[in-house]
Amino acid sequence: MLTVNQTIRSYAGRPGCMCGCNGTYNEGERARKMAITTLLKDPAVRFDTWGDGTEGAIFVVTATRNRVLYLTADGVKTVQALGVKHE
């Protein structure tokens, strides 16, 4: 089970640039809890890692919205164990 302690921040916004001009980043606990629930229930959720594989995120991209949840190293391991499809 992915917990809020295994997350860093969430992002929600329109497709395109993710610098913050098309959406907002939120590091609050409530936003991260809502992102966990929303993303893990969505069958279109995907998972990606970068760097040495200890950094990553789960995300859903639609025609009108990007929803992303950034993970700690423990979160990456948990999501891999949950079997979320890797991009």
What range defines the domain where residue 29 resides? 4-82
pLDDT confidence tier of residue 53, bands split at 50, 70 and 90: confident
CA distance 36 to 63: 21
Over residues 3-16, the pLDDT tens digits come to 999 999 999 999 98
When divided into structural domains, the chain yields a total of 1
CA distances from 11 to 41, 52, 53, 58, 84 (A): 17, 22, 20, 11, 19
Give the angle subtended at the CA of 39 by the CAs of 37 and 42, to the nearest 5°: 105
Indicate whether 44 belongs to any domain.
yes
Kindly report the pTM of this predicted structure. 0.93
Residue found under tokens 């302690």: 5
Over residues 66-85, the pLDDT tens digits come to 999 999 999 999 999 999 99
Indicate whether 87 belongs to any domain.
no
